[in-house]
A and B are shown apart, each in its own frame.
Chain A
Amino acid sequence: MNIDQWLGLVTGVLFGFLLQKGRILRFDKQIGAMLLTDMTLIKFMFSAILVGMVGILLLSDFEIIKLSHKPMNVGAVLLGGALFGGGWAIMGFCPGTSQGALGEGRWHAVFPITGMVAGAALYAELYPFFKSTVLAWKDFGTIGLPEAIGVSQWIIVSLFWVGTLSLFYWFEKKKL
């Protein structure tokens, strides 16, 4: 294995360990978040975003790293996001958590994993069709929210923190 692969493996082990410790790999936790009855997954994800956001934007401000936005292709993000959401609700796992679920013994995760590999192969066949239709509609390119709305990123980050912490407070009060 080369350095890329070793580094990926080590990062993945750490990621899988934390996903499991946070207890979000279970089908029931994923569906619980979508049914708005168990917010463990949301608490986990947004805690990661709050912390990661500050460090990554600082590193980018000091030009140590380069941000890499994915393109805001309107049709692709809206339709793709909707298809993903629907499929996610039915299988009860996302691509990363399905692997972790397998690791903690929930072997039924092989069914969604096989489905997702088949879905990837299907997408590779459908790509020419999507390229000439959905992907060709309207692409705003790789943009960040601060440039898009003309507001300083640290104002957005502050608002994001306040909003998310209020949400967490409410979750705890309601015991979600």
Chain B
Amino acid sequence: MKWKTDDSGWSPYLAGALVGLMAIASVLVTTELLGKTTFIGASTTFVRAAGLLERTIFADHVVANEYYTTTKVFVDWQFMLVVGIVLGALISSIMDKSFRLESVPPTWKERFGPSIGKRAVWAFAGGVVAMVGARLADGCPSGHGLSGSMQLSVSSLVALAMFFGVGALVAHIVYGRRAS
């Protein structure tokens, strides 16, 4: 087993194990400093972002909406965590020179061609469906997949199996056939 990948990344076992240590440190630090054990997640932030954007145009509507009221639309710990992910990935990719401006993912291009418009429409639609699902299931691969599995939550283990099971099925249908 190698500690470095061919493109100077780290072994996924190493980077993953470090995320595990980070998750432990994070629950400990949030409990001590914020007085409330806080687990890593990402999808709730999309609700808050949607609420913040919507509020600039339809303020009354956001106030009246039950889901926004229970979620509480404000920039919290997790919101800044999601912002931090962008920065962390930027720093890492600049440091090891893996930063690339890319307009269409290579695998997608191979299968569906170089059109940015086509990719944009499908990625947007996929995003809508996935987020409705994540909110219904109450988590994504971070909240359920990492944080929930670490706690052996029944809901998270089931959700993770559904994510991968259905993901694998749809991926085989969509990308499975070789590009002609």
Q: Which residues of A contact B (CB under 8 A)?
A: 1, 3-28, 31-36, 40-41, 43-53, 55-57, 59-60, 64-73, 76-92, 94-108, 111-128, 130-131, 134-135, 140, 142-146, 148, 153, 156-157, 168, 172
Q: Which residues of B contact A45 (CB under 8 A)?
A: 16, 141, 145-146
Provide the residues of chain B in CB contact with A4, threshold 8 Å.
34, 76-77, 80
**Is the pair B7, A23 in contact by a Cβ cutoff of 8 Å?**
yes
Q: DSSP class of A's interface residues: helix, strand, loop or mixed?
A: helix
The answer to the question of B59 belonging to the interface, with a C-beta cut-off of 8 Å to chain A, is no
Q: Which of A53, A82, A106 contacts B105 (CB 8 A)?
A: A106
Q: Chain A residue with minimal CB distance to B167? A: A85
Whether B12 lies near A99 (C-beta < 8 A) is no
Q: A3-B34, A43-B12, A44-B16 are in contact. Are A83 and B127 (CB under 8 A)?
A: no
> How far does the alpha carbon of A12 sit from the alpha carbon of B18 in the complex, in Å?
13
- When the two chains form their complex, are residues A9 and B80 in contact, meaning their CB atoms are under 8 A apart? yes
Interface positions of B from 137 to 180, Cβ below 8 Å from A: 137-146, 148-172, 174-176
Instruction: Assess whether A84 is in contact with B99, with CB atoms less than 8 Å apart.
Output: no
Q: Would you give the shortest CB distance from A129 to chain B, in whole angstroms?
A: 11
Interface flags for B24-53 (1: CB within 8 Å of A; 0: not) read: 101111110110010110110111011101
A140 contact from B5, B83, B144, B154, Cβ within 8 A = B154
Considering the chains assembled together, what is the distance between the CA atoms of A79 and B155 in angstroms?
12
Can you list 20 pairs linking A and B with CB atoms under 8 Å apart? A15-B40, A16-B86, A16-B88, A21-B96, A23-B10, A41-B12, A44-B19, A65-B27, A66-B31, A70-B139, A77-B138, A81-B162, A94-B142, A111-B119, A112-B126, A113-B127, A115-B124, A121-B51, A124-B50, A142-B155
Residues of B within 8 A of A67 (CB): 37, 151, 153
The answer to whether A119 touches B132, judged by C-beta atoms less than 8 angstroms apart, is yes
User: Do B19 and A85 touch (CB < 8 A)?
Assistant: no
Which residues in A have their C-beta under 8 angstroms from that of B142?
94-96
Find out whether the CB atom of B91 lies under 8 angstroms from the CB atom of A111.
no
Listed from nearest, the 7 A-B pairs whose CB atoms lie closest are: A12-B84, A115-B127, A16-B88, A87-B130, A81-B162, A51-B20, A83-B133
Q: Across the interface, name the chain B residue whose C-beta is closest to A124.
A: B67
Find out whether the CB atom of B128 lies under 8 angstroms from the CB atom of A87: yes
B19 and A15 contacting across the interface, CB-CB below 8 Å: yes
Q: Give every chain B residue within 8 A of A73 (Cβ-Cβ).
A: 138, 155
Interface string of B86-103 (1 = CB under 8 A from A): 111111110010111111
Closest to B31 in A: A65
Q: Which residues of B contact A113 (CB under 8 A)?
A: 127
Given A53-B149, A94-B140: A85 touches B80 (CB 8 Å cut-off) = no
A20:B127 contact, CB within 8 angstroms: no
Task: Give CA–CA (A81, B127) in the complex, Å.
Answer: 14
CB distance from B79 to the nearest CB of A (A): 7
Contacts of A96 in B (CB 8 A): 42, 82, 85, 140-142
